[in-house]
Amino acid sequence: MTHTPIPLPDLTPPDILRCAYMELVVTDLAASRAFYVDVLGLVVTEESDTEIYLRTFEEFIHHNLVLRQGPVAAVASFAFRVRSPEDVDRAQAYYEAMGCRIERRPNGFVNGVGDSVRVEDPLGFPYEFFYAVDHVERLAWRYDLYGAGALVRLDHFNQVTPDVPRGLAYLEGLGFRVTEDIEDSDGVVYAAWVRRKPTVHDTALTGGNGPRMHHIAFATHEKHNIIHICDKLGALRQSDRIERGPGRHGVSNAFYLYLLDPDGHRVEIYTQDYYTGDPDNPVVRWDVHDNQRRDWWGNPVVPSWYTEASLVLDLDGNVQVVEVREEPTEMAVTVGADGFSYTRVGDTEKGFKLGNTL
């Protein structure tokens, strides 16, 4: 398949620090509050009848998540913090040069954030860049407030897009570096993880019908914090919020849990990936047939995890049209039992199939 390249401008891209917050449109704000505040324990920075601003325990900027009441569940913004006010200008110039629609708001799009630019990026995602932000109390030392499942940082976004190599070339032009990917021997890329901060990723591209939002991920300190969230959901008779996990990822080596919020927006709870800050950090490439790539213990991925994702909005608040992936999907290749998945390298040549033992 030819991956029609997105022409990249000959301009310095904005210096992106990290993924910083997501604006999520939810259809029942009270139900979402019950999930994100009462169950997950995110900290309310401020709220009104129509919006709730939430942050994690180690955060010092105003929020990591905005919940906004609206008619259709969707994502209004994937927001990244940049290094300086001038980097907001650089972001504007960069996307204008790509011919993207942009909107600049000196007073920000949401409370607590100043001068920002929102763009409809070449993949159809609403990206936002800002530097100016209100500082709030970093609650890291407030152990009197921590619950056993405390969410301490926003870790990453995950985006679904039909053509991963095309999206990757654009993100690499924007300054992201690839940490890991999943591919096959025909050169099909199924997913890739890219970073700015020195963790495994700030966002990832998952190959599928898109643009859609696959998940937003928050970090806990330890694995036992994730187990506590599972126990709490069980005690609340809300175990049906658990979609996948808990488990250990192959990709990223992190411990994980995926939950679905009342609108079906997927939230990952994630902990203990690895440091990637050296310039020669090695790229890890996984074979799509490796049965341990997505779950190190070999547990199967539920089909909904591959197929379901949230819609995203354009700058007018309309839902972006979803385009179908043409290349093979990971679900068809691995869940669809093609007989070529393996746990031990060499099993397939010997004719062994997933589930058989040597």
Residues that bind ligand XXG in the complex, under the rule CB under 6 A: 158, 204, 217, 249-252, 254, 268, 270, 293-294
CB of 344 to ligand XXG, least distance (A): 19
CB of 336 to ligand XXG, least distance (A): 17
Closer residue to Fe ion, CB minimum distance, 22 or 88? 22
CB of 270 to ligand XXG, least distance (A): 6
What is the 3-state secondary structure of the chain?
CCCCCCCCCCCCCCCEEEEEEEEEEECCHHHHHHHHHHHCCCEEEEECCCEEEEECCCCCECCCEEEEECCCCEEEEEEEEECCHHHHHHHHHHHHHCCCCEEEECCCCCCCECCEEEEECCCCCEEEEECCECECCCHHHCCCCCCCCCCCEEEEEEEEECCHHHHHHHHHHCCCEEEEEEECCCCCEEEEEEECCCCCCCEEEEECCECEEEEEEEECCCHHHHHHHHHHHHHCCCHHHEEEEEEECCCCCCEEEEEECCCCCEEEEEECCCCCCCCCCCCEEEECCECCCCCCCCCCCCHHHHHCCEEEECCCCCECCCECCCCCCHHHHHHCCCCCCECCCCCCCCCCCCCCCC
Decide which of ligand XXG, Fe ion, none touches 189; Cβ closer than 5 to 8 Å per partner kind: none
CA distance 79 to 91: 12
Q: Which of 52, 82, 98, 217 binds Fe ion (CB under 5 A)?
A: 217
Decide which of ligand XXG, Fe ion, none touches 244; Cβ closer than 5 to 8 Å per partner kind: none
CB of 200 to ligand XXG, least distance (A): 7
Name the residue type at position 156.
Answer: H
Q: Mask 135-174, x = binds Fe ion (CB under 5 A)?
A: -----------------------x----------------
Closer residue to Fe ion, CB minimum distance, 13 or 250? 250
Q: Which of 261, 268, 295, 347 binds Fe ion (CB under 5 A)?
A: 268
CB of 263 to ligand XXG, least distance (A): 19
CB of 45 to Fe ion, least distance (A): 24
- Bridge partners (DSSP) listed for residue 75: 24, 312
Stretch that binds Fe ion, among 35-43, 69-77, 170-178, 210-218 (CB under 5 A): 210-218
Decide which of ligand XXG, Fe ion, none touches 265; Cβ closer than 5 to 8 Å per partner kind: none
Closer residue to ligand XXG, CB minimum distance, 39 or 204? 204
Q: Which two tokens stand for residue 176?
A: 């992201």
Closer residue to ligand XXG, CB minimum distance, 36 or 286? 286
Q: Which two tokens stand for residue 265?
A: 């927006």
Decide which of ligand XXG, Fe ion, none touches 178; Cβ closer than 5 to 8 Å per partner kind: none
Stretch that binds Fe ion, among 30-38, 101-109, 216-224, 328-336 (CB under 5 A): 216-224
Decide which of Fe ion, ligand XXG, none touches 294; Cβ closer than 5 to 8 Å per partner kind: ligand XXG
Closer residue to Fe ion, CB minimum distance, 119 or 154? 154
CA distances from 33 to 54, 65, 227, 228, 348 (A): 10, 12, 22, 20, 48
Closer residue to ligand XXG, CB minimum distance, 94 or 218? 218
Residue 259 in the binding site for Fe ion (CB under 5 A)? no
Closer residue to ligand XXG, CB minimum distance, 166 or 195? 195
Q: Which two tokens stand for residue 117?
A: 């630019």
Closer residue to Fe ion, CB minimum distance, 243 or 268? 268
CB of 215 to Fe ion, least distance (A): 6
Closer residue to ligand XXG, CB minimum distance, 110 or 194? 194
Q: Which two tokens stand for residue 97?
A: 């040069």
Parallel, antiparallel, or unpaired for β 177-183 and 284-287? parallel
Positions touching Fe ion (CB under 5 A) are: 158, 217, 268
